[in-house]
Amino acid sequence: MSSKFILLFKSEVTMILSDLSEVDIVTLQSWMGSNICSSLDLVETYFARIAAHDSGSSNNGWGVNSVLEMNAGARTIAVARDMERKKGLIRGPLHGIPILVKDNIETGDGMITSAGSLALLDNRPDRDAVLIRRLRDAGAIILGKTNLSEWANFRSPWSTSGWSSRGGLTRNPYMLTRSASGSSSGSAAAVAANLCTVAVGTETDGSILSPAAACGLVGLKPGLGEISTVGVVPLAHSQDTAGPMARTVQDCALLYQVLRKDVACNRDPVIFSDTNRLKGTRVGVLRNQFELHRDAIPIFEKALDALQDYGVTLVEGIRLPDMAELGEAELEVLLYEFKYGINHYLKGLRSKDVPHSLEALIDSNSKNSGSVMPWFGQEYLELAAERGGLDEERYLDAKRLCKRLAWTEGLDYMLNKNHLAACVAPSNNPSGLIDLLTGDHHTGGSSTLAAVAGTPSLTVPTGHIQGLPIGATFFSGPGTESLLLCYGYALETVLAARIAPLFKMDMGE
Q: Which residues are catalytic?
A: 102, 183, 207
Alpha carbons 122 and 107: distance in angstroms, whole number: 14
Return the closest-CA partner of residue 337 out of 401, 284, 294, 399.
399
Task: Look at the alpha carbons of 490, 495, 496, 497 in this order and tell me if their dihedral is positive or negative.
Answer: negative
Task: Write the burial class of residue 393 (CB in 10 Å: 0-12 exposed, 13-18 middle, 19+ buried).
Answer: exposed
183 preceded by cis ω (within 30°)? yes
Beta strands in 364-450 (DSSP E): 422-426
Q: Radius of gyration (Cα) for the chain, nearest Å? A: 22
DSSP label at residue 345: H
The answer for residues whose C-beta is within 8 angstroms of residue 29's C-beta and 6 or more apart is 93, 95, 96, 97
3-state secondary structure of 67: strand
H helices of 392-480, in order, are: 393-403, 412-417, 448-453
Alpha carbons 455 and 212: distance in angstroms, whole number: 18
- DSSP class per residue in 235-304: S-TTT-EEEEEESSHHHHHHHHHHH-S-HHHHTSPP----GGGGTT-EEEE---SSPPPTTHHHHHHHHH
Contact yes or no for 211/205 (Cβ under 8 A): no
Give, for 75, the enclosing helix (H) or strand (E).
helix 74-86
